[in-house]
């Protein structure tokens, strides 16, 4: 354990520069006293690490020192193979690069680690696309990825909710959610989210831009997803479900599945479930899939709408008495 931590401290100092004892202790969830002992061991092993005292002090390596001790453990190499998704990499125009990188990684591993890493691809397959869906059209994605990487401005023609619009953007990042690519780009001074498949045309502009130093893509994405779901589900419906309906509603949507887990089940096996909904029309379309295994109890307008649709279906499928 100590040897692994010593190597990690060395690599952290090499990649991040100066770090305080407290920062290193927080990183490895250990005490400051332990970090001081680890630094002593590194120094005794000939690693040129020294300390600067004061408020802006900390440990750092002698300028110009680089360690060649960067070997991967078998588990680390296997993790890298598992993380390589061929579909998304190909979407970004990096399919060949990923294959070449994996080949080089295999060649660099010792024989005992090579077989384990190679087995990953034959025994685990990650498919990010949801059921009953095709992957989005992503023809502009390689250009978009280049713009993100090189901080190039772009001009797009975008099919938005209100119609087709032209936008000049500063692309900050890309996110893949459930097989759908999204671009995060600055427009009007603040980040916005664009579905890549809705981009009808994209031009790389010659101008570059200064990427905001404080922009955090994972943090932005998590906050945007929460806000989007809050805005999307503006109401609630209460349903009474049979045992079969309780199972079937899990296929309606992720929020319906979460609601089903919190269901109140009576002695007869029927459940009372409160489900977030977008609108009456969306909910009616979703809940019709459950057939007679679901009864909408509220809101009244949704119950009325379900009755109207059921009445029309009854007329269409009523036996011909002529």
Q: What is the pLDDT at residue 86?
A: 63
Determine the Cα–Cα distance for residues 159 and 164; give it in Å rounded to an integer: 4
Q: What is the pLDDT at residue 16?
A: 80
Q: What is the pLDDT at residue 232?
A: 83
Residue that wins the pLDDT comparison between 184 and 52: 184
pLDDT band at 28 (very low <50, low <70, confident <90, very high): confident
pLDDT band at 1 (very low <50, low <70, confident <90, very high): low
Alpha helix segments (H runs only) across 176-298 = 217-232, 243-248, 254-261, 280-287
pLDDT at 322 over 60: no
For residue 263, the SS3 value is coil
Q: What is the pLDDT at residue 230?
A: 79
Residue that wins the pLDDT comparison between 120 and 276: 276
pTM: 0.59
pLDDT band at 287 (very low <50, low <70, confident <90, very high): very high
Residue that wins the pLDDT comparison between 75 and 275: 275
8 Å CB contact between 255 and 275 = yes
Determine the Cα–Cα distance for residues 42 and 126; give it in Å rounded to an integer: 40
Closest Cα partner for 199 from 166, 226, 245?
166
Q: What is the pLDDT of residues 161-216, one digit of tens each?
A: 889 999 999 999 999 887 788 999 998 888 999 999 999 999 999 999 999 989 99
Q: State the average pLDDT over residues 263-288.
A: 90
Q: What is the pLDDT of residues 65-108, one digit of tens each?
A: 766 555 666 666 666 665 666 666 666 666 666 666 666 656 55
Residue with tokens 């029927």: 270
Helix 21-28 with 2-16: angle, nearest 10 deg: 130
Percent of the chain with pLDDT over 90: 38
**Domains of the chain with CATH codes:** 2-61 (1.10.10.10), 74-123 (no CATH), 141-230 (2.30.30), 235-317 (no CATH)
Determine the Cα–Cα distance for residues 103 and 82; give it in Å rounded to an integer: 14
pLDDT band at 159 (very low <50, low <70, confident <90, very high): very high
pLDDT at 261 over 60: yes
Pick from 20-24, 106-110, 318-322: least confident: 106-110
8 Å CB contact between 196 and 136 = yes
Pick from 29-38, 87-96, 161-170, 219-228: least confident: 87-96
What is the CB-side half-sphere exposure of residue 218 using CA atoms within 13 A? Answer: 0
Q: What is the pLDDT at residue 77?
A: 63
Q: What is the pLDDT at residue 285?
A: 92
Percent of the chain with pLDDT over 70: 75
Q: What is the DSSP letter of 286?
A: H
8 Å CB contact between 115 and 78 = no
pLDDT band at 290 (very low <50, low <70, confident <90, very high): very high
Q: Where are the beta strands (DSSP E) in 161-250?
A: 163-177, 180-187, 190-195, 199-208, 235-241
Residue that wins the pLDDT comparison between 67 and 19: 19
Q: What is the pLDDT at residue 193?
A: 95
Q: What is the average pLDDT value for the chain, to the nearest integer?
A: 83
Q: How far is CA 228 from CA 58, 64, 161, 222, 234, in A?
A: 42, 47, 14, 10, 11
């Amino acid at each position: 354990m100590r040897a692994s931590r010593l190597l990690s401290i060395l690599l952290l100092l090499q990649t991040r520069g100066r770090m305080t004892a407290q920062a290193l202790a927080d990183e490895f969830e250990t005490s400051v006293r332990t970090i001081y002992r680890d630094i002593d061991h590194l120094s005794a092993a000939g690693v040129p690490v020294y300390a600067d005292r004061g408020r802006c002090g900390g440990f750092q390596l002698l300028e110009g020192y680089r360690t060649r001790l960067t070997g991967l453990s078998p588990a680390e190499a296997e993790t890298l193979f598992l993380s390589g998704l061929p579909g998304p990499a190909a979407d970004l125009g990096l399919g060949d690069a990923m294959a070449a990188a994996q080949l080089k990684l295999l060649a660099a591993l010792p024989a005992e680690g090579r077989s384990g890493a190679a087995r990953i691809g034959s025994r685990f397959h990650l498919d990010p696309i949801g059921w009953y869906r095709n992957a989005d059209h992503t023809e502009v994605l390689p250009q978009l990825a280049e713009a993100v990487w090189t901080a190039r401005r772009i001009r797009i023609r975008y099919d938005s909710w209100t119609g087709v619009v032209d936008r000049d953007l500063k692309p900050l990042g890309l996110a893949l959610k459930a097989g759908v690519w999204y671009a995060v780009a600055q427009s009007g001074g603040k980040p916005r989210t664009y579905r890549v498949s809705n981009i009808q045309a994209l031009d790389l502009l010659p101008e570059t831009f200064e990427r905001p130093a404080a922009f955090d893509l994972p943090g932005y994405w998590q906050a945007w997803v929460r806000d989007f779901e809050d805005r999307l589900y503006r109401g609630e419906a209460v349903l009474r479900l049979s045992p079969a309906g309780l199972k079937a509603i899990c296929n309606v949507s992720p929020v319906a599945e979460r609601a089903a887990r919190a269901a109140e089940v009576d002695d007869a096996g029927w459940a009372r479930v409160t489900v977030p909904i977008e609108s009456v029309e969306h909910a009616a379309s979703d809940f019709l899939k459950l057939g007679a295994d679901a009864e909408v109890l509220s809101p009244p307008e949704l119950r009325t709408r379900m009755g109207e649709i059921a009445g029309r279906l009854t007329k269409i499928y009523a036996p011909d008495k002529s």
